Amino acid sequence: MDIIVLGGGVSGLSCAIRLREAGHAVQLWARELSPHTTSDVAAAMWYPYLASPKERVLRWGQRTYEVLRTLALRPETGVQMVHGVELFTERVPDPWWASSVPGFRRATPEERPPGYSEGYAFEVPVIEMPRYLPFLQERFRELGGPLHLREVHSLEEAWSEAPTVINCTGLGARTLVGDDALFPIRGEVLRVSPSPTRRFFIDESEARGMAYIIPRTTDCILGGTAEGGVESLTPHATEAEGILSRCRRLLPEGTLLNVVEHRVGLRPGRPSVRLEAEHVQERRVIHNYGHGGAGVTLSWGCAEEVQSLVESPR
């Protein structure tokens, strides 16, 4: 089939690759490509954050975990498996996604920093987006797929060249298809180098403020924030100070944190992920957006469901 994928982030690239691997004639049109996409700002680790409904997210996330774990065997992908802990100051039940992660268990006292009485210990893929997104782009090109820098203002523009369009435009779908259910979830992160740890740490406490430390090969991402409905992409010095303060409580006293970059991204929030086919006469669009803070986490599972929708009888 002739297909145009709209969107150059992780969702669009994953869909384009799966569809091209299946033999379809696929073009990818993107307003921006790495390093200028929202996906580039992602921390990014496998974790189903700010995405629903749980049943579909669990299925998509499990499949993506499997694919990323396989990609972690190839250093050029920028994916690696990393151990770490999520921390609490009170007893909590296992998370709803625990069954997706092999070896998930309760953290031992030795694994918890001072001040934390509970925690989960698990291993998940950590994805270095400055390496991973170019890897995906090159994979699509190797499959014979063209990438075009092209901003689209209506589905009609894409339908004029292909009867099937895959809409992976994230927050852009607010204007492209008039989806008022979408809203930005602003996130600020810091990049520090060298990494102060080889384990990841997460503390999502609302009372203490969100903190996470995601180590990568040569650096580390510290976060973060989640401000619903905030559009600004301007980094705030006060937020950076808060992130550093919150992350220091997870590390040994006196740990050096050398900040080399301060970035802001807007997660595409939505009450539920929109993954469905819509038919307009002889044309159709398959929507795949609204992944909240779990775009990477759901990417391959969603891409394979998109492929299934493309190939299913209308």
What does the chain come to in residues? 314
Q: Coil, strand or helix: which one is 126? A: strand
| Distance of alpha carbon 80 from alpha carbon 68, whole angstroms | 8
Q: What share of the chain is helix, strand, coil (3-state, %, to 5)?
A: 30, 30, 40
Among the listed residues 165, 168, 138, the one whose alpha carbon sits nearest the alpha carbon of residue 298: 168
| Distance of alpha carbon 221 from alpha carbon 167, whole angstroms | 29
Q: CB within 8 A of 210, min separation 6: which ones?
A: 203, 204, 223, 224, 225, 226, 246
Taking the C-alpha atoms of 192, 169, 50 and 300 in order, what is their torsion angle to the nearest 10 degrees? -80
| Distance of alpha carbon 283 from alpha carbon 162, whole angstroms | 8
Q: What is the pLDDT along the chain (314 residues), one digit of tens a residue?
A: 899 999 999 999 999 999 999 999 999 999 999 988 888 988 899 999 999 999 999 999 999 999 999 999 999 999 999 999 999 999 999 999 999 999 999 999 999 999 999 999 999 999 999 999 999 999 999 999 999 999 999 999 999 999 999 999 999 999 999 999 999 999 999 999 999 999 999 998 877 889 999 999 999 999 999 999 999 999 999 999 999 999 999 999 999 999 999 999 999 999 999 999 999 989 999 999 999 999 999 999 999 999 999 999 76
| Distance of alpha carbon 183 from alpha carbon 201, whole angstroms | 27
CATH classification of 2-311, choosing from 3.40.50.300, 2.60.40.1120, 3.40.630.30, 3.40.50.720? 3.40.50.720
Structural domain spans, the chain: 2-311
| Distance of alpha carbon 124 from alpha carbon 103, whole angstroms | 10
Give the predicted TM-score (pTM) of the model.
Answer: 0.96
Q: CB within 8 A of 95, min separation 6: which ones?
A: 120
Question: Which two structure tokens, joined as six digits, stand for 253?
Answer: 């006293």
Question: Which two structure tokens, joined as six digits, stand for 171?
Answer: 């927050």
